[in-house]
């Protein structure tokens, strides 16, 4: 059995406000095992970014984990001392952000930033760091690594800046890479190249990847296992094939129909509104928008059922697979 690296157990994150708590995560369960690629999809406000931030213990001001635990190789991240936490962030887990240029320091050259990251997290002198920076860019199909190393972030295109971020994240040889919509701001023709590079590099380094996106197609291309988030919870989890070919949760099925715009057919959409996160949802948060809602949904919390082949869904119905 492959080792479980990151384990999030019933994680609730709440933010106290003058009008009561806002609860962006309402009990997230998620495992990432060594070397695997896991994707989380969800719409804005579903809690994907907050999940990554909770995993890194990098929550916004005032937000706190109010229930559950985040574990790294069995150890609680929430109880880590400062020195361990520093090691955990950077050397064991690295992150790539959505806006590649904003994630870089505008005052420093690319080389300086990669070298600093290396020196902060690894044993080795400046010469080794510079060599590692050069090698990292070469590994990302950058034709002129020396030229790019000497540039400042504003001199890079979006695609190039995101390559630099990937290089910087991987230069410390992390066991897990977190990626927050890293290709959303890029051109379509560049997006595919960056996704392919990311996939290849993660595989070469035997690192695990936790990748989030609002675009199910992107996640399905990149990730072996996929979680679907809704209202601060993972409502369905399974392999790429299970999620895209045999979705069990009505929300996943609705999302799939929205993504598929066939010409001549009316595009799909989900009626109603995303539920408020100022209340802790005991019952299924999707029931107001669900086409399959019935009386059990109004009385009992949705049961989390897992099939023998590891396909999990939190729903009262065993929805008949479409097709």
Partner 1 sequence: MAEPVLSVRDLHMTYRVRRSIGAVEEVRGVDGVSFDVPTGTTVGIVGESGSGKSTIGRCVLGLTRPTGGEIQLLGTRIDSLSARQLRPHRRHMQMVFQMPRRSFDPLLTVRRSVEQPLRRLRSELDADARATRVAEVLEAVKLGDDLWDRRPGELSGGQLQRAAIARALAPEPALVFLDEPTSALDMSVRGEILGLLMDLKDRVDAAFAFVSHDLEAVRAVADELVVLYLGQVVEQGPAGRVFADPRHPYTQALLAAGRFETDGVTLGPRGDQEPASGCRLAPRCPFAEPRCRELQELRPLQDELGLARCWKATETVDA
Q: Report the alpha-carbon angle 190-193-194, nearest 5.
A: 85
**14-22, 47-55, 198-206, 213-221 -> range binding partner 1 (CB under 8 A):** 213-221
With CB under 8 A as the rule, give the number of residues binding partner 1: 34
Instruction: Name the residue among 285, 303, 298 with its Cα closest to residue 230.
Output: 285
CB contact at 8 A, 207 and 231: no
Q: Tabulate helix, strand, coil % of the chain (nearest 5).
A: 35, 25, 40
Does 127 interact with partner 1 (rule: CB under 8 A)? no
Does 244 interact with partner 1 (rule: CB under 8 A)? no
Q: Minimum distance from CB of 266 to partner 1 (Å)?
A: 5
Does 190 interact with partner 1 (rule: CB under 8 A)? yes
**Residue among 18, 269, 308, 309 that touches partner 1 (CB under 8 A):** 269
Nearer of residues 258 and 279 to partner 1, judged by Cβ: 258
Does 24 interact with partner 1 (rule: CB under 8 A)? no
**Residue among 22, 101, 119, 274 that touches partner 1 (CB under 8 A):** 274
CB contact at 8 A, 316 and 296: yes
**Residue among 189, 295, 309, 323 that touches partner 1 (CB under 8 A):** 189
Extract the tokens encoding 265: 């057919």
Owner of token pair 């408020």? 276
Q: Minimum distance from CB of 161 to partner 1 (Å)?
A: 12
SS (H, E, C) 172-231: CCCCEEEEECCCCCCCHHHHHHHHHHHHHHHHHCCCEEEEEECCHHHHHHHCCEEEEEEC
Q: Which residues in 233-299 belong to E strands, given as ranges? A: 233-239
Does 288 interact with partner 1 (rule: CB under 8 A)? no
**What does each C-alpha distance from 95 to 112, 173, 195, 226 come to in angstroms?**
18, 12, 15, 19
Site for partner 1 in 141-160 (CB under 8 A): 141, 143, 157-160
- DSSP secondary structure of 130-174: HHHHHHHHHTTT-S-HHHHHT--GGGS-HHHHHHHHHHHHHTT--
Nearer of residues 89 and 249 to partner 1, judged by Cβ: 249
Nearer of residues 80 and 270 to partner 1, judged by Cβ: 270
- Interface characters, 61-100, with partner 1 (x: CB under 8 A): ----------------------------------------
**Residue among 270, 279, 288, 296 that touches partner 1 (CB under 8 A):** 270
Measured over the CA atoms of residue 133, residue 172, residue 152 and residue 143, the dihedral's sign is: positive
**Residue among 266, 308, 309, 320 that touches partner 1 (CB under 8 A):** 266
**Residue among 203, 217, 305, 322 that touches partner 1 (CB under 8 A):** 217
Binding site for partner 1 (CB under 8 A): 43-44, 141, 143, 157-160, 187-193, 214-218, 221, 254-255, 258-259, 261, 263, 266-270, 273-274
């Amino acid at each position: 059995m492959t080792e479980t690296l990151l384990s999030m157990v019933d994680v609730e994150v709440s933010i106290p406000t003058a009008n009561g708590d806002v609860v962006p995560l309402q009990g997230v369960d998620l495992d990432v095992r060594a070397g695997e690629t896991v994707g989380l999809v969800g719409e804005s406000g579903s809690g994907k970014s907050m999940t990554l931030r909770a995993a890194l213990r990098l929550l916004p001001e005032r937000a706190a984990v109010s229930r559950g635990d985040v574990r790294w190789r069995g150890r609680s991240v929430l109880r880590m001392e400062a020195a361990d936490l520093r090691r955990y962030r950077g050397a064991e887990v690295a992150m790539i952000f959505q806006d590649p240029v904003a994630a870089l320091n505008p005052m420093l050259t690319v080389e300086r930033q990669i070298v600093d990251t290396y020196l902060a997290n690894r044993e080795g002198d400046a010469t080794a760091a510079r060599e590692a920076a050069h090698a990292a860019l070469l590994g990302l199909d950058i034709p002129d690594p020396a030229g790019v190393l000497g540039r400042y972030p504003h001199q890079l295109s979006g695609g190039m800046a995101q390559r630099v971020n990937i290089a910087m994240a991987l230069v410390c040889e992390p066991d897990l890479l977190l990626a927050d919509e890293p290709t959303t701001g890029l051109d379509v023709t560049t997006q595919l190249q960056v996704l392919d590079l990311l996939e290849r590099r993660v595989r070469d380094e035997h690192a695990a990847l936790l990748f989030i996106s609002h675009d199910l197609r992107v996640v399905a291309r990149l990730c072996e296992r996929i979680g679907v988030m809704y209202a601060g919870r993972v409502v369905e989890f399974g392999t790429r094939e299970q999620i895209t070919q045999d979705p069990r949760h009505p929300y996943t099925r609705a999302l799939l129909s929205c993504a598929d715009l066939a010409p001549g057919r009316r595009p799909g959409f989900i009626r109603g509104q995303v539920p408020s996160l100022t209340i802790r949802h005991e019952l299924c948060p999707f029931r107001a928008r669900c086409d399959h809602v019935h009386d059990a949904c109004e009385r009992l919390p949705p049961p989390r059922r897992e099939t023998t082949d590891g396909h999990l869904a939190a729903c009262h119905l065993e929805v008949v697979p479409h097709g």
